Structure 1
Amino acid sequence: MAPQNILITGSSAGFGAALVHQFLSAGHNVIATSRNPARTPDLVSSITSHPSGRGRWLTLDVTSPQETISATIREAESHFGPLDVVINNAGYSVLGAVEAMDEEKARVQFDTNFWGPLRVIKAVVPGMRERRRGTVVNVSSIAGLQGIPSTGIYAASKHALEALSESLSLELAPFNVRVLLIQPGGFRTNFLNPTTSLQTLPFPPAYTSTPLHTALDRFAAYEGHQLGDPEEGAKRIYEAVMQEGMWKEVGADGKGWLRLMIGSDAWERGTKALEGKLENIRGLRRVAASTDIKK
């Protein structure tokens, strides 16, 4: 297969960095991006000086205005040509009680986790549609399927991204443009590190010894003990994009599947969440039908 042109947001750590290395090592052209490349000079240098000559690094803050995002996409395409794959990986989370979440922190989460990917999508999809090829990858979370105490706003932003991805995949299918939605569980990245990524807000005293309090304690203890290996997660994402490896082994290629859960914890939690929702829906069939206009 000829080298693909890949752009990845949030490339400075975690899944982003692992994905950059995964695609580069496979011989593809990679445009890594981050909000502040100066913070990771060694990583940036390792990509831009990669022996293959196929690595580039651009500054991209997904919370920037649409005009800035579109200009960065044009700059990215000036290096290797039109983009074949765009991976919306940049993410941000603040934990805390819904009632204690100030509006500015809620807006920043949505700006990064939902509006940011939408801006990137708006910049790349017209070209993909016209060329009738391309793949958009949106990195969500298992929280996009089920919110738990303390993750209300973060989960809401990921639910929004999932709904967007569902609609987008149906809109772009006639143009041979794929959409993939990644739902990771807990992986040993820096995402839960309070010094680099995660913020936790103080909660009202009334929540002491409630599920919210328990959830926050578990998140604090979870750092460094997550089940997921980010390198293996990056491989599964790569295989889903390229439709090879385990993605092909389980028969996912050619089925048009939207979702890729990675992490056994994501699969367990997702399965239980969906079973619970289905039980709820099925139990109310007669109630739902009772509101129809009588014939």
Structure 2
Amino acid sequence: MESTNQTDAIEFLLLGLSDDPELQPILFGLFLFMYLVTFLGNLLITLTISSDSHLHTPMYFLLSNLSLADICISSTTVPKMLLNIQAQDQRISYTGCLTQACFVLVFAGLENCLLAAMAYDRYVAICHPLRYTVIMNSHFCIILILVSLIISVVNALLLSLMVLRLTFCRDLEIPHFFCELAQIIKLACSDTLINKILIYTAALLFGGIPFFGIFLSYIEIVSSVLKIPSGQGRYKAFSTCGSHLSVVSLFYGTGLGVYISSAVTESPRNSAVASVMYSTVTQMLNPFIYSLRNRDMKEALRKLTVRMASLM
């Protein structure tokens, strides 16, 4: 198989979820709808939190950043897919593909870190309520966001720049709707051992450590809540964690489903369909989870809606 290291001449083909021409309009409409819901829903969450002084707390500050990360990760993948379907052109340049993969890694890593930070916030609020305002002060929250972002950017740049050392073959078809780093590496003709080691290490660090932190936080939370004598008090404490637990279950559950589907099936298309769950559907559902399960958010949304209606 002929290979090349002239990266400026390389173009990848994003095969998408299906090559059936009759399904393309359906996929276009479906993903356009999901993207608009994701973008507008998360934007509404962010605007609601910023406009209501009662929501200017660490928990909602972290939630607003999670919503921004959801917008960014969806905007990195879905618009290019919609453009490819509309133009009936599956090509993406080498630079464009690597850039897209890098941004996906940045925002996926950031989302992982934010979910862990939100679990720590709930741990402090329930297990150390008297020290909550001291520990979760605005300065500490900003540092959490910045550290999470810096770590995610460094990791994404390291993994992406390591692709530059690879030589690629001529058959550059990616059976996916966006450039996933693992799929790019599979197309290389040169040795990819170092790249694979880095990917598995990063997956362990960015998947395992945040999840382990969330798991430990909720062990402490459950232990503390069970000591509350009042049933109403236990329910109130658990209810503050319900939305976060739902998002964590959805994010890690769908991510785990992708890897399981990749392991048990030989069809790359099936893996691509599974990837839709963690890269698109999860981000679309997060605003509904937090708005429908949270009384403060529903009240703030109602006030914002009334305020916007009065201005029209």
Whether these two folds match at TM > 0.5 is no
TM-score range, shorter chain: under 0.3
TM-score normalized with structure 2 length = 0.26
TM-score normalized with structure 1 length = 0.28
Identify which of structures 1 and 2 has the higher relative contact order when contacts are C-alpha pairs closer than 8 Å and 6+ apart.
Answer: 2
Q: Looking at CA atoms only, which structure, 1 or 2, has the larger radius of gyration?
A: 2
Q: Whose strand fraction is larger, Structure 1's or Structure 2's?
A: 1
Q: Whose helix fraction is larger, Structure 1's or Structure 2's?
A: 2
